[in-house]
């Protein structure tokens, strides 16, 4: 399985601005990835301080550290990622981060995203000339969610990614024949990445979070 997103360094491009150019600006970037195949978690956090009106910001540490799901994260010597935690276990839909800033102000940031524990096209044999419809085990998509389809050929090194932006309440995804035509005939392994982005102002600290759930793969045959 290929992890197609590189955590905080590649995911977070959002910066916040305000009217006061001289004011201190604080941002927090929170990332969670769960791999259902291996039952492994990865969470990362970067806290930044800068000046409004200027791009970027210096990565800083919390005087009390950062906790994810009440577990203290380890500090990293990297410029762009401050904290990381890797652990094994089952999936939890609610993701909670807690920390303090240099002024001893406490913060709590939560994100919620259901899992996709299984999926089906209703058949194992697909045609790249016919439309197909996919359904999954789990709640419908919510606002700011999308699904990435990672088709990996079992006969070679070919990977065909497809990303679908969801809408509130979407409980299935229809693939028109033109989309299916992008998948060459052959045997394929498919896994889904359900992901969600959340932006929130925590008492002046502009916070963005991303959650990614990597499903277990399944195999399909695609015919001309």
| CA nearest to 28, candidates 148, 203, 185 | 203
The pLDDT score that the predictor gives to residue 2 is: 59
Q: How many C-beta neighbours within 10 Å does residue 192 have?
A: 24
Strands 71-72 and 205-214, how do they pair?
unpaired
- In terms of residues, how long is the chain? 224
Rounded Cα–Cα distance for residues 163 and 86 (Å): 26
pLDDT computed for residue 112 by the predictor: 96
CA distance 151 to 160: 5
Which residues are registered as beta bridge partners of 54?
none
Maximum distance among all Cα pairs of the chain, rounded to whole angstroms: 63
| Phi, psi dihedrals of residue 132, rounded to the nearest 5° | -145, 155
How much is the pLDDT for 15? Answer: 44
CATH, domain range 23-113+196-214: 2.60.40
Task: Please list the rounded mean pLDDT of every run of 10 residues in the chain (224 residues).
Answer: 53 44 79 97 93 73 95 88 94 97 93 96 97 96 95 91 92 95 96 97 94 98 96
Domains 23-113+196-214 and 118-194+216-223 share a fold: yes
Q: What is the pLDDT of residue 19?
A: 42
Q: Which residues of 58-94 are buried (b: 16+ CB within 10 A; e: fewer)?
A: ebeebeebbbbbeeebeeeeeeebbbbbeeeeeeeee
pLDDT reported for residue 4? 57
Q: Is 94 helix (H, G, I), strand (E, B) or coil?
A: strand
Decide the pairing of beta strands 67-68 and 159-165: unpaired
Question: Tokens in use for 19?
Answer: 């009217």
Q: CATH: 3.40.640.10, 3.40.50.720, 2.40.420.20, 2.60.40.1930. Which one for 118-194+216-223? A: 2.60.40.1930
pLDDT of amino acid 17? 41
Residue with tokens 């008492």: 203
Q: How far is CA 184 from the centre of its chain?
A: 28
Q: What are phi and psi of 197, to 5 degrees?
A: -115, 135
- Structural domain boundaries in the chain: 23-113+196-214, 118-194+216-223
What residue ranges in 36-144 does DSSP mark as E strands?
40-51, 58-60, 67-68, 71-72, 74-75, 83-88, 94-100, 106-112, 118-120, 125-127, 132-137
């Amino acid at each position: 399985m290929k992890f197609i997103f590189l955590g905080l360094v590649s995911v977070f491009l959002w910066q916040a601005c305000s009217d006061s150019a001289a004011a201190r600006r604080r941002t927090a970037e929170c990332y969670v990835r769960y791999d259902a195949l291996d039952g492994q978690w990865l969470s990362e956090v970067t806290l930044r301080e800068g000046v409004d009106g200027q791009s970027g910001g210096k990565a800083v540490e919390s005087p009390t550290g950062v906790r994810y799901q009440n577990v203290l994260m380890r500090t990293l010597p990297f410029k762009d990622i401050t904290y990381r935690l890797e652990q094994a276990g089952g999936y939890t839909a609610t993701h909670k981060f807690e920390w303090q800033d240099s002024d001893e102000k406490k913060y709590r940031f939560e994100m919620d995203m259901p899992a996709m524990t299984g999926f089906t096209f209703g058949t194992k044999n697909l045609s790249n000339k016919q439309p197909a419809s996919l359904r999954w085990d789990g709640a419908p998509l919510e606002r700011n969610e999308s699904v990435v389809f990672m088709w990996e050929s079992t006969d070679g090194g070919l990977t065909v990614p497809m990303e679908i932006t969801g809408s509130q309440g979407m409980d299935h995804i229809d693939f028109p024949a033109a989309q299916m035509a992008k998948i060459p005939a052959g045997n394929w392994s498919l896994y889904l990445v359900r992901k969600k982005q959340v932006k929130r102002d925590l008492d002046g600290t502009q916070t963005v979070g991303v959650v990614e759930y990597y499903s277990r793969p399944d195999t399909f045959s695609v015919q001309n």
